[in-house]
Amino acid sequence: MASNVTSAPPNVNRQRLLIGSLALAAVICVGVLWKVASTDGLGEGDFTAYWAAVYLLHEGQSPYDQPAMMAVQQTLVSSNGYVITAWNPPTLFVFLLPLGWLSFLAAKSVWVAANVIMLFAIAAMLARLYLPPRPRVVVAFCVFVVLFPQALIGVVMGQVTFLVVFGLVACLTLIKHDQWFWAGFALILTTIKPHMVILAVVYILLYALYRRRWQLWLGLLSAGLFCMLILFLFRPEWIMDLAGILHIAPVNWATPTIGGFVSYFHITEILRYLFVVFLPLAWFLSRPQSTMSVLASVALLTVLTVPTTFFGWSYDQTILTIPIAQLFGWLAVSSRNTTKIAGTAMILLITILTWTHHIFTTNDVYYVWIPLTWATVYFVYFITRESRVKPAAPEAVLDPGN
């Protein structure tokens, strides 16, 4: 008698095995890093400022009060003789509030683990969005993301960059599944470091507006109101605190952007806000007449934002994993072996040079070559890819190949 039970297709089984392997790798990494972070300086750095700010907010004080930050850091963290300030918008503190109930050592370990989990989640979501369902390609990309120099530096520093990248990638994933309200809700995470995603977020908001996807705007508004409510509960004066910090925020620091680089050498300050030049492009791509997909548009605008924004450290370049994911996808579906070999070699070369630079150079401003190099490679393949791809049909707006 024939059995009615049918086995899963080979592709489905391979995907399940791949997801399980990634999850297991994430658990192992979290366990190892948790152990190291609980006994070592791993994950301190900038997290010192974030935790101190959240601690102050728990106490009803301003998270931007530098003397109070100094006191907390000197007494509860370490006596390093200087204060590390959290310059981020106050939405960050809402998402880190639970860590304020923990000791610094425990909170640091939790945050290292959270960053690793987010990094794996970002890699998995980008693979589902941009890559063909080929296990070798997916594994290669996920390994690349996990070993991405800027990402690992972010983990070591206890950075919050991963929240921003996770928010943008989660928004794209939810849009793909027609979950517009939650896509807007996830977009609130990008307000933590808006300078990293300004072109992409403007594009997404205009894209939803043109197509009357009011749910996305409602989701973002709801998330914003939720954050404001939490802030008012803990610190009714938070708006005044934010206003007081704006005039001394270090937006003119020399960071690895085009504007920051030329400013560092006292050439000009005009290029500080170079990204403004590309704002019309965000509008142009968002119009209903545009044939470029959401995924391709966000990747393009991201690779333009990183070198042209007014502020951004080397670990913020982690967001380049979005256009790099599309680059992996283009290489995977290319019918030319020379294209695949050249692209793979270029990816490896840039990665090796980046690691070499991190080993021998400490001045962050010189990392400006990294986003410029990735942008160059991206546009070379973008131009050649676009010349061989037909315009997208209206229902194919999420197709990463367009």
Please say whether the beta carbons of 104 and 148 come within 8 A. no
Residue 52 belongs to a domain: yes
Per-residue model confidence (pLDDT) at position 66: 87
163 in Cβ contact with 196 (< 8 Å): no
Token representation of residue 89: 């918008």
Q: Alpha helices, DSSP H only, in 309-336?
A: 321-333
The confidence score (pLDDT) of residue 213 equals 96
Task: Classify residue 81: in a domain, yes or no.
Answer: yes
Q: Using CA atoms, how far apart are residues 397 and 386, in angstroms rounded to an integer?
A: 15
For position 401, what pLDDT does the model report?
Answer: 57
Number of domains comprising the chain: 1
Residue 311 lies in a domain: yes
Measured distance CA(402)–CA(393) in Å, rounded: 10
In a domain, 374, yes or no: yes
Rounded Cα distance, 180 and 215, in Å: 5
Q: Which residue has the tokens 């991963």?
A: 162
CA–CA separation, 38 vs 276, rounded Å? Answer: 43
In a domain, 111, yes or no: yes
Total residue length of the chain = 402
- Amino acid of residue 128: R
Whole-model pTM?
A: 0.87
Q: What is the C-alpha separation between 344 and 331, in angstroms, rounded? A: 8
At 210 the pLDDT is: 96
In this prediction, residue 229 carries a pLDDT of 97
Amino acid identity for residue 206 in this structure: L
The CA-based dihedral angle spanning residues 155, 157, 163, 169, taken in that order and rounded to the nearest 10 degrees: -50
Half-sphere exposure of 398 (CA within 13 A, CB side): 12
pLDDT recorded at residue 394: 38
Q: At what angle do helices 198-210 and 279-286 cross, to 10 degrees?
A: 30
Q: Using DSSP, state whether 37 is helix, strand or coil.
A: helix
145: closest CA among 118, 182, 168? 118
How would DSSP label each residue in 161-207?
Answer: HHHHHHHHHHHHHHHHTT-HHHHHHHGGGGGGSGGGTHHHHHHHHHH
Sign, CA torsion 287/292/294/297? negative
Residue 13 lies in a domain: no
In a domain, 28, yes or no: yes
Specify the pLDDT at position 17. Answer: 53
**What is the block-wise mean pLDDT of the chain (402 residues), using blocks of 10 residues?**
47 54 52 46 81 93 90 78 84 94 91 95 95 90 93 93 97 96 97 95 97 96 97 94 78 86 90 94 96 95 96 94 95 86 92 90 90 95 64 46 56
pLDDT given at position 36: 43
Cα dihedral sign, 338-344-348-353: positive
Helices then strands, each counted (H, E), the chain: 18, 0
What's the rounded Cα separation, in Å, for the pair 226 and 58? 17
Q: What's the one-letter identity of residue 244?
A: G
- The domain in which residue 134 lies consists of 19-396
DSSP letter string, 235-246: -TTHHHHHHHHH
3-state secondary structure 16-46: HHHHHHHHHHHHHHHHHHHHHHCCCCCCCCC
Structure-token pair, residue 284: 């142009």
1 in a structural domain: no
